[in-house]
Amino acid sequence: MKTSVYRFLCCLLLAALSCSVAWADGSPRDVIPLPAHIAVAKGCFNIPAGGLRVHLAAFPALAHAVQQCPLGCSLVSKRAGADVVIDADAGIASPEGYRLVVARKGIKIAAKCEAGAFYALQSLVQMSAGGRVRSIVCCSIADEPRFSWRGLHFDVSRHFRSVEFLKKQIDAMALLKLNVMHLHLTDGAGWRMEIKSYPRLTELAAWRPARTWQEWADGGARYCTRENPEAHGGFYSQQELRELVQYAADRHITVVPEIEMPGHSEEVLAAYPEVSCDGSGLGSSDFCAGKEATFRLLESVLSEVVDVFPSPYIHIGGDEAAKTAWRSCPHCKLRMEQEGLASVEELQSYFICRMERFVNSKGRRIIGWDEILEGGLAPDATVMSWRGVEGGLKAIKAGHDVVMTPGEFYYLDYTQDAPFKEPISIGGYTPLSRAYAYDPADPSISPEQMKHLLGVQANLWSEYIPTDAHAEYMYYPRTFAVAETGWSRAADKDFSRFRANAVALCAFLRDKGYNTFDIANEFGERKESFVVADHLARGCKVTYNLPYSSQWPGAGDATLTDGVQGGWTYLDHKWQGTMRDLDVTIDLGDVKPLHCVTATFMHSEGAWVHVPQKMEVLTSIDGEHFLSAGTAWGYVTNGQPKILLHPFTLLLNVSARFVRIHATKHSRPGAWIFTDEIQIN
């Protein structure tokens, strides 16, 4: 009898829950990015079974967006009888702002410009879960973006993406109120835009005899023609790009093209070796800054670029130029003499400034990565700060416009969950919580300087992301965090609310055919990083026989014995890095019996982080005379692509006060060692 009653009650509960889910009301607090001002009223608006009837009292060009809306919208010519009325209101301050009022009998939208009305529709789509929720809470929304630049980056050089893929992502961007698509069209791995004046850029530089970037890099970074049976790659015709630009513009998204210079240009030098320093096109990734042929090519290329892309900005790259060949190139040396330049950094500044003048002559502005600050910034250049935030802050305070894209928070090629369960990545760990936590409005920026902070952008470099499905997996849901930071008020950020909305929005996108990360079942940060490691060496003095890097100091001299263990990435500042051997001596304070020494090292091959070849432990009573207690050897093989944490453990049976740990770095030139804690028991 009790069992029957229990089953009956369970059935009633399940029925009640299913009804509540089926009839849950859409709320403005479900929207990503969260609207600026929300007031909720009593009651609901019920979406008619036949869809919404929309009257455009303004913005007739919005008709296409209305008809494409997943709420089954249809246009009606009269205000009377319409479920949704869209009006213009010049009193709304922001061109992207809108007012949205949901009442029991209908919905009213007002905006200053078409963009605002379009964004109001996107909020309606999210509130109704794309039509799956049939009633929306009565409310009023007054909304506008925090920043004017809300961007997403697409690296189509390393792995070519189809126009259809890009259009699909534009649709997702529009839903999130993102408004800039940054298209990384050129890099060493492939040139992706038709240039009629320099046809070999697509005849040769767009193709490689390797499917993936890794295979291409491992195979000597060679190029081939399209006719090669092993050819992989592709490019966009100018007509295809014009159609893409229009598709984006219809959704209020600007496509910003990037043409890399002076570095990351191996593919151009292979196609046109005369613009390399030695004329061979080999052994360098930088255009020759001393040859006029270089500037003729780039000016011709950019002339075609500005003809296709109406964007007010042209991205000219500027990052990671090695400048090695410039130091011995007679053409570059002559240029430096003629221009009175004291260093190759100043030569790079000359290069950027000259290209800026040309772009300005076309009525456009340049934007570049923060390396364009080196040697002196071009007068009207906008900076995209990726190497942390310092470069961006420096540029803002110097009066330059800046878009913040710090790698620590906004590089989506970093793994988004525990590396052992995720696809191969370039390294690093950027979970949704870290991406959401970043705020670009640094306290050191004055209110007057804030006008130079244009906004934020997330970047997805695709060296290790060969497929479209993998790219989507890396974009979503972390792109949601960038969208909310770029649009919503900082004071309204609440990760618990946001994460719940992200779970729902991921489900919505998956229903639409997107391959999203399963944020609902996230493993999360390394569990050891949440607890204090208690051991004999905790709090003891560490003497560095070789210094650690000032770039990655962790917590300074206390890092290795502070009881704090690192997470999945050295970017959490709990790991300490060195490009030398790790050689430290720990003073335990007294002679103590010792049985075990453990040090954990990180491996992240894409970031040049490697575990040591070996770790030797030496002990001493007096701190002067040391005896070897043994050696632990590394076992991570070369070519291991995933992030790994490798504990080196040595068992011993001695008594000592001083313990010296000497870890011999990996043989790879430029390799780093990262350690978080040395535990002695």
SS3 664: strand
CA distance 504 to 643: 30
Are the beta carbons of 228 and 209 closer than 8 angstroms?
yes
Has 646 been annotated as catalytic? no
- Out of 240, 299, 320, 581, pick the active-site residue: 320
264 is catalytic: yes
Q: Which of 96, 144, 187, 463 is catalytic?
A: 187
DSSP string, 203-269: HTTTEES-SSHHHHHHTTS----TTSTT-EE--B-HHHHHHHHHHHHTTT-EEEEEEEESSS-HHHH
Structure tokens at 487: 């649009």
DSSP letter at 193 equals: B
The three state secondary structure string of 247-262 is HHHCCCCEEEEEEEEC
CB 38 within 8 A of CB 139: yes
CB 407 within 8 A of CB 387: yes
d(C-alpha 188, C-alpha 535), whole Å: 49
b/e string for 645-654 if b means 16 or more Cβ within 10 A? bbebebebeb
CA atoms within 13 A on the CB side of 556: 2
The region that residue 399 occupies, defined by phi over 0 for left and psi between -120 and 50 for alpha, beta otherwise, is: left
Give 117's contacts (C-beta < 8 A, 6+ positions apart). Answer: 58, 59, 62, 86, 98, 109, 110, 111
- Residue 187 annotated to the active site: yes
Distance CA 181, CA 178 (A): 8
665: exposed, middle or buried (Cβ count in 10 Å: 0-12, 13-18, 19+): middle
- Given a contact cutoff of 8 angstroms between Cβ atoms, the answer to whether 594 and 680 are in contact is yes
Q: Determine the Cα–Cα distance for residues 609 and 22; give it in Å rounded to an integer.
A: 50
Query: Dihedral (C-alpha) 104, 106, 111, 113: value to the nearest 10 degrees?
Result: 150
Catalytic residue among 55, 184, 264, 400: 264
Q: What is the CA radius of gyration of the chain?
A: 29
Single out the residue of 259, 264, 123, 141 nearest to residue 198, CA to CA.
259
CB atoms under 10 Å from CB of 43, counted, come to 14
- Which tokens belong to 572? 């959490």
Residue 658 CA to residue 623 CA, distance in Å, equals 6
Q: Catalytic residue positions?
A: 187, 264, 320
